[in-house]
């Protein structure tokens, strides 16, 4: 690789609807910040979404809503490639090949399948859900991605991707796959539920007071922040043994760009009434303009960006698939 060439970055996000502040701060914000330093490819992973049942019309809307949000948030199609996974057939084709490289022993260790299948029982879970990490490995290896920014929950999937790349390269005496590196965000980037600071903010939480949806209006946001749990101490301090307060200060800091130290100092001698009122305005001042930008992204723009993204990702994927099939002796 030439000295001045940017390294390839790949990341994906599922179009599963109802995005919240945790998704934004934990994933989207990072992507925006990284697109300048890397040759970035961002993928809306609809083929991953169907590992659990999806309503077709809802899935389609979620894919477009996510594209709209990513563009409104600052993914710049002049700098990055944005596309929908199922528009490039190389993902499922390579996933099949990697299915023959992965061993049952690799897969039986995967904790996310155990967690996700626990609800309905593994007998009723799809084989696709079991193979989810293999499709994720295919996403990454198809583009020679060197760096993969993900949340802490994806650490095991990145390890599997590295294992499959190395095993394939060794078996076929090739350097066909780049062994990628995960860029795992530190624990602090995990935004916790407003009603329960021991669990992450989640769209599948039982109470809507758990999360701030990116679609919430100003009054709903204010109400949710005012109701957010704190603890029995009246002061505003930042420490691990005060997870609820730590979480609120983290949100404040990430959205206002003020340091944690400055925020703590600002509220020295003040109570939660003042703090929460200001935090609510910080959140409103972030979300309302974002909603306005979302409303201004046209359907045409989405169509243009995604079709351009499909074309450029598709070209790279075709080249890689030809190379991989050749070393394996596949095809006519």
Distance CA 159, CA 185 (A): 15
Bridge-partner residues for 150, per DSSP? Answer: 184
Contact 129, 191 (CB under 8 A): no
* Paired tokens of 6: 């940017």
The SS3 of residue 182 is strand
Which positions from 53 to 72 touch ligand LTN by CB under 6 A, shown as an x/- string? --------------------
Q: How many residues does the chain have?
A: 332
With CB atoms as reference, the residue minimizing the distance to ligand ATP is 26
Are 62 and 23 within 8 A, CB to CB?
no
203 is catalytic: yes
Longest dimension (CA), the chain: 76
Of the candidate residues 9, 12, 22, 221, the single one contacting ligand LTN (CB under 6 A): 12
From the list ligand ATP, ligand LTN, none, partner contacted by residue 10 (C-beta under 5 to 8 A by kind): ligand LTN
Q: Which two tokens stand for residue 289?
A: 């303009």
- Nearest-approach distance from CB 241 to ligand ATP, in angstroms: 20
Residue from 8, 9, 10, 267 touching ligand LTN (CB under 6 A): that is 10
Q: Which of 66, 69, 97, 140 binds ligand LTN (CB under 6 A)?
A: 140
For this structure, is 200 an active site residue? yes
List of E strands, 158-258: 181-184
Q: Which is nearer to ligand LTN, 150 or 221 (CB)?
A: 150
Side-chain half-sphere CA neighbours of 85 within 13 A: 29
Catalytic residue among 29, 79, 203, 258: 203
149 contacts 34 by C-beta, under 8 angstroms: yes
Among 136, 249, 255, 306, binds ligand LTN (CB under 6 A): 136
Choices 7-15, 93-101, 103-111, 117-125; region in contact with ligand LTN by CB under 6 A: 7-15
Choose, by CB under 6 A, the member of 8, 9, 14, 216 that binds ligand LTN: 14
Minimum CB–partner distance for residue 25 and ligand ATP (Å): 6
The nearer residue to ligand ATP, 25 or 94, going by C-beta atoms, is 25
Structure tokens at 9: 């970055």
């Amino acid at each position: 690789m030439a000295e001045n060439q940017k390294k390839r970055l790949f990341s994906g996000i599922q179009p599963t609807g109802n995005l919240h502040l945790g998704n934004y701060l934990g994933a989207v914000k990072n992507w925006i910040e990284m697109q300048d330093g890397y040759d970035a490819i961002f993928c809306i992973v609809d083929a991953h979404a169907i590992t659990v049942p999806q309503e077709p019309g809802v899935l389609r809307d979620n894919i477009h809503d996510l594209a709209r949000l990513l563009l409104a948030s600052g993914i710049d199609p002049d700098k990055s490639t944005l596309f929908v996974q199922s528009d490039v057939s190389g993902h499922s084709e390579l996933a099949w090949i990697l299915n023959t490289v992965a061993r049952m022993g690799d897969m039986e260790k995967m904790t996310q399948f155990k967690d996700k299948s626990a609800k309905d029982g593994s007998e009723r879970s799809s084989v696709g859900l079991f193979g989810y990490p293999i499709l994720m490995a295919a996403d990454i290896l198809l583009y020679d991605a060197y760096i993969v920014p993900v949340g802490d929950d994806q650490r095991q999937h990145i390890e599997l991707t590295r294992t499959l790349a190395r095993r394939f390269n060794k078996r076929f005496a090739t350097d066909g796959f780049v062994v990628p590196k995960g860029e795992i965000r530190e624990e602090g980037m995990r935004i916790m539920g407003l009603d329960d600071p021991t669990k992450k903010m989640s769209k599948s939480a039982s109470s809507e007071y758990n999360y701030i949806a990116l679609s919430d209006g100003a009054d709903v946001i204010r109400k949710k922040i005012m109701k957010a749990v704190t603890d029995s101490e009246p002061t505003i301090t930042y420490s691990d043994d005060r997870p609820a307060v730590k979480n609120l200060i983290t949100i404040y800091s990430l959205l206002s760009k003020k340091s944690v130290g400055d925020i703590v100092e600002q509220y020295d001698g003040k109570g939660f009434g003042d703090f929460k009122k200001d935090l609510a305005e910080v959140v409103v001042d972030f979300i309302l303009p974002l909603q306005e930008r979302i409303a201004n992204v046209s359907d045409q723009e989405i169509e243009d960006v995604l079709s351009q993204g499909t074309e450029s990702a598709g070209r790279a994927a075709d080249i890689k698939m030809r190379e991989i099939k050749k070393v394996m002796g596949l095809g006519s």
